[in-house]
Amino acid sequence: MIVEPAPAKLNLALHVRARRDDGYHELETLFVFVADGDLLTIADADASGFVVTGPFADSLHGEGDNLVLRAERAFRAQIADLPPLAVTLDKRLPVASGMGGGSADAAAMLRAMARRAGVSLDDHRLRAVAEALGSDVPACLLGRTAIGRGRGEALTPIDGAPGKPVLLVNPGVAVSTAAVFTSWDRIDRGGLPEGQLIAAATNARNDLEAPARAIAPEIGNVLERLSAAPGVRLARMSGSGATCFALFGDPADCAATAQAIRLAEPGWWVCESRLA
């Protein structure tokens, strides 16, 4: 049995520069990962199987195909075949939430299968499969702080801020990535600023926040609450939403804010974590 974490991805900043001829968008983004996320388990079996458990399992109920199964098929076809596998996905992250859950799960599947097959995680074929699966999958495969360019797949690892307290809050709405990108106003407001991670993120922005808030006004409510929290250093939406995050200097401030939001908004998903 191999157990592989699928940590949540956050975009501390996301600058959309242009719409490309291939339908994707030219991006500059700051990828970070947190200590919490989904969990994937594989084990040799007599017959292949895929089971989803966890608090958000129902969100994937009836889904005939997903990125985990596509990652498995691509690995078998392009890297190495393996015996039948029983795959269990413990779905702890909200679906369609801007945290790269599906991409992180696919990357975890690639890492788990590589470990089972004795393939190095640095193997160029893994990266090629990840790029074909989706824009966020290469970053999730890398699993460390990086600047993403292109459609997000061109990665430059940078120093992170491990251990920094972060609070993740989702108002319980799923937001379509395609709809948010379609609503982007196509104005290039410039690239990422220079500087260390947190300073650069503070001076940056998320260009998808305005269109996401127009689609799901609840995002604005979350950001207002996080921005007003004691000790908050930065509050912003991640990816295309609807999850928002707040970085804190003191874990006690993070915990107190989490408790206050849970009491005031019992329908919201709240997760205290730290940057990896």
136 catalytic, yes or no? Answer: yes
pLDDT of residue 30: 98
Q: Are 2-157 and 165-274 equal in CATH topology? A: no
Average pLDDT over residues 86-115: 96
Domain segments of the chain as ranges: 2-157, 165-274
Q: Which of 44-48, 59-63, 159-163, 217-221 is the least confident region?
A: 59-63
What lies within 8 Å, CB to CB, of 128 at 6+ separation is 78
Closest by CA position to 8, among listed 116, 97, 132, 134: 97
Q: Is the pLDDT of residue 62 over 70?
A: no
Q: What is the dihedral of CA 219, 177, 107, 271, to 10 degrees?
A: 10
pLDDT of residue 52: 95
pLDDT of residue 144: 97
pLDDT of residue 113: 98
Catalytic residue among 136, 164, 207, 253: 136
Specify the residue for token string 């199987």: 49
Beta pairing partners, 42 = 2, 87
Is the CATH number of domain 165-274 3.30.450.20? no
Specify the residue for token string 């206050």: 260
| CATH number for the domain formed by residue range(s) 2-157 | 3.30.230.10
pLDDT of residue 108: 98
Average pLDDT over residues 261-273: 98
CA distances from 164 to 33, 229, 249 (A): 11, 16, 7
Average pLDDT over residues 156-163: 98
Q: How confident is the model at residue 64 (pLDDT cuts 50, 70, 90)?
A: low
Q: Is the pLDDT of residue 29 over 70?
A: yes
- CA angle at 154 for the pair 148 and 160, rounded to the nearest 5°: 40
The percentage of residues in the chain with a pLDDT greater than 70, rounded to a whole number, is: 99
CA atoms of 165 and 112, how far apart (whole Å): 28
